[in-house]
A and B are shown apart, each in its own frame.
Chain A
């Protein structure tokens, strides 16, 4: 005998109401992520929404095999929790790439299992309004899984950062896409074959590898955003296949977010998305464009003491950090230097280029970790008008995003990319390991400007030397 309350709980309408509550919480949560003060609460709100969605699903009558569900959740928790607790903030891009990957992988696996189930239960192909989303989810999920793994490998330095070019790349990619689509169309047209379905997964897998392998390290922020969007879309497709409204809404929100970020990143690098996916820019290839003929152009070197003097005499100082700062783990030392200068009445701000770091907003996280106050982090549009009234700008581990060639030299490969106008400040000190070129392999005229001085060496020890010198003044 069933209690009335139990039948109420497993009622489909009730479960739908819970789903509605869940995605309302997702949207409210994301709305709170718009400000640093409410963002943490927003994340918690979305997490509550997720918990409700999972509980609602477990109430569904057709759900069984609770043991295996618990097993899957236990395995996922055992992997996810320690990873999230211990990952270094510099490694966030890899982490996000990996999370994109497992999301896409889950979608691909579910669509595969769903198709196997349909064939295995003797029902044959599901109706088209289910089948087409399943096929779409399989293709996109598989591309996303493998593409993300390659992105992870590149960011983690397991694979070389440089673009890995294969001759006839474009043709191979087009061929793989055609294979995947042809197999999908064959199934949709009535073929009942698991072999064809696996072929779709495999062709998409190789395509995912082939698309990301030739993309260079500098383009990674775009790639990660794009994979994020794809994973979201594949989840939404799975939602349509499974008639699950929470999956549809959750997936498409992620798809929208990834799409926005992809466009922002591509704009910040002045590159179109097809251009990036076609490959080759972020390293090599473009190197000759900047005119790197003369090995030794005149530049002025400086030392820590002179920099310290200039800094203590300044009224306003701007720090323009790049990924090099993070690699050198110099963010804490920079913050100590800033504290020391602020004590002496110097105003310190940070100029954050949208693609500083390896993923959208990465530099902000790294500086926040070093306790740099949120308010002194200025976005590019906000800080650029301030440079002409800035006394000293410290460029630390950044290169291409400060390259005035992007603004002035029309035949430069990065021409048109928005940059930080650091060269407009009274004086510039560039902290750099050597006089070599940056990620994109393009020479930077900033280094040879009259108001620029170079402080060569490891970013962290250089900043440390300056800090020590400031303390003695």
Chain B
């Protein structure tokens, strides 16, 4: 893919991101942030792509750590977000208005 195509995708995705995220209410900002933590764990893909062509111990070592970091983001982020959102779904209050 050439640079211009990539920059086009980048710009459009930024606008989509702004549109979607700006609709998230304040009350859900902490889960939002931990979910986006999980999504930037997508750098994991970078580690996977590069490690195959890497040579030498240091390169491989660096990339194993990078993959581990990315995985921490992905699994940790999605799990902890799920834990939080589960609480938000909690029981509807029986007698809300007196």
Contacts and interface: CB of A to CB of B under 8 A. Distances in A.
Nearest to A231: B40
Contact of B6 (A57, A84, A110, A243): A243
Interface residues of A, number: 116
A91 B86 CA distance: 17
Given A65-B52, A256-B21, A377-B27, A228 B39 contact: no
Contacts of B93: 373, 375-376
A375 B96 contact: yes
Closest 3 CB pairs of A and B: A76-B71, A72-B67, A256-B17
Interface string B54-69: 1110111011111111
Given A77-B71, A109-B63, A364-B27, A26 B33 contact: no
Contacts of B55: 117, 120-121
A23 B20 CA distance: 13
Contacts of A76: 44, 67-75
Contacts of B21: 30, 253, 256-257, 260
Contacts of B46: 106-107, 110, 235, 238-239, 242, 244, 247
Interface residues of B, number: 88
12 contacts: A34-B23, A40-B82, A46-B78, A63-B48, A76-B75, A84-B79, A85-B79, A99-B72, A105-B69, A256-B14, A369-B87, A374-B90
A120 to B, nearest CB: 6
B20 A368 contact: no
Contact of B10 (A75, A243, A248, A260): A248
Contacts of A103: 37, 40-41, 43, 69-70, 73
Given A73-B71, A109-B63, A251 B49 contact: no
Contact of A99 (B24, B27, B73): B73
Interface string A4-34: 0000000000000000000100110111011
A259 B36 CA distance: 12
Nearest to A79: B72
A47 interface: yes
Contacts of A83: 72, 76, 80
Nearest to B65: A109
A369 B25 CA distance: 18
B35 A102 contact: no
Nearest to B74: A50
A57 B59 contact: no
Contacts of B90: 368, 371, 373-374
A84 B83 contact: yes
Contacts of B18: 256, 259-260
A231 B8 CA distance: 20
Interface string A95-131: 1100110110111011011101100110000000100
Interface in A262-292: 264
Given A80-B72, A84-B80, A254 B39 contact: yes
A264 B72 contact: no
Contacts of B60: 65, 68
Contact of A43 (B29, B43, B78): B78
A67 B71 CA distance: 15
Nearest to A30: B20
A360 B29 CA distance: 5
Contacts of B81: 43
A75 B40 contact: no
B25 A75 contact: no
Nearest to A70: B67
A100 B44 contact: no
Contact of A73 (B33, B34, B67, B76): B67
A168 B39 CA distance: 37
Nearest to A36: B88
Contacts of B16: 27, 253
Given A99-B77, A232-B40, A352-B26, A365 B84 contact: yes
B98 A346 contact: yes
Given A57-B49, A72-B51, A244-B45, 9 more contacts: A33-B35, A65-B60, A95-B34, A117-B54, A238-B43, A242-B46, A244-B49, A252-B13, A361-B31
